[in-house]
A and B are shown apart, each in its own frame.
Chain A
Amino acid sequence: MNMQPARSEFTGARDDGIAKGDVLLDVKNVSLAFGGVKAITDVSFDILKGEIRAIIGPNGAGKTSMLNVINGFYTPQQGTITYRGVPRHSMRTTDAARQGISRTFQNIALFRGMSTLDNIMTGRITLQKRNLFWQGLWWGPAEREEIEHRRAVEAIIDFLEIEHIRKVPVGRLPYGLQKRVELGRALAAEPSLLLLDEPMAGMNLEEKEDMSRFILDVNNQFGTTIALIEHDMGVVMDISDRIVVLDYGRKIGDGKPDEIAKNKDVIDAYLGVPHGEMDEEQQTA
């Protein structure tokens, strides 16, 4: 019997030695092309430690490609990416994961037949220290380690309020909850940079509100730096600290939400209407 609940050492985000407000990730003059198709052209921006950074743009603007560049899935032909002060040129996605970059996907990529608990547990894989031999033996160090990881997973389950679906196979869960489980799996790696690819796509208003609250809570509680792609402008304007706008692979805007809202290039790119009409619309709104 214990006096206090067995709270784990789970802190939600690893200490990467970068102080809040300093540059965590710096993207400089990055260009990416697939054959003749230019996905990203000469884009530069930075992500500061502890902020929520949104990447927005119309369909095909290169947002997901940008995320894929950041987490090492694509290697840009030109430009440099500096993460935690270290420039990198080519890397594998597993290296990115080890360095504390984790992500969620536009189309949910969970193991549908596995329970919520097991799915989130897979997020701890890069943190497991024991090798195959010890894990095969199970008793001893591997067991102790597993208990520690389970504690961390339970802390995430508690945080995301998904206790009631702990043992439910995720394939049976409604879409909104699956998105939450995916966020949980990304959090399990205790990331210092969390990439969210359209975390609210296809959600109803209530689910969006819940998800926004969780994203803000993750940022607030764990100090996790978050980069997110999202189409719902209301959400983006409300929750992000700064926004990068891409259009046809180029950066057309960068700044605080209120600056972006006034940026004429951005308005053009999104609405494709002359500014006069837009102003009228804004007034009626």
Chain B
Amino acid sequence: MREINVAEITENIKEMCIEANHILTQDMDLAMKTAVDAEKAPLGRQILCQLQDNLKIAKEDMIPICQDTGMAVVFMEIGQDVHFTGGILEDAVNEGVRKGYVEGYLRKSVVKDPIIRENTKDNTPAIIHYEIVPGDKVKITVAPKGFGSENMSRVFMLKPADGIDGVKDAILTAVKEAGPNACPPMVIGVGIGGTFEKCALMAKKALTRPVNERSQIPYIKELEEEMLEKINKTGIGPGGLGGTTTALAVNINTYPTHIAGLPVGINICCHVNRHAVRVV
């Protein structure tokens, strides 16, 4: 049994909220650089160059990459040999988000009630996903999610007979409908299988996988590559203003499902695909 004081969780989450909103992960940063040379449209290249300038200014002047600093999605993979002390874990996570967004000059974008819509003024509560795993460590992933792209995400409850072609159609449909709204070049997280909520959660988690890392399952790896190529032929391009770079990656996760179903969750992310990962 290892004891971890929840104050340590708070401090890490605070720093991770600030870090994720100012600096992209190395894989995303590289993908954005590579896209400049690959893009065929002159206006598309110009936009990708502006996004390079934007990333540089964000890092050097500590101005958030995007003004939508997101709703804080936090994945907590907790080793089963960990015992938390010093307070309630959920409160500690939210306190980290509160400190990060207030002290880090990040935008407060959360409303207390979806209909009454009064701002909570500290960007809490976070969306927290807990997972119990072997070991005595805690892996924290903070993934602030902007809603321009979140609003364009979809869940399709396909039929088994729809098969892989149905999955491909679903992904292309979501991307085409998203178009300029989702701030392309996008990253596409996909969850295939499970249940209604499981496919959406897999899609969200797929966005935190490095964009240069493909699935271990051979046919899924092929599907990821094929869909990226198809998406980049839609013509949507950077900013939706035409071009050959509509997505940087398609990350797909799968899970067993029911004999009667084929759920597909598609979580669309903009080019500011943010996350910070730490192991405590």
Q: Do A and B come from one complex?
A: no
Q: Interface of B with A (CB < 8 Å)?
A: none
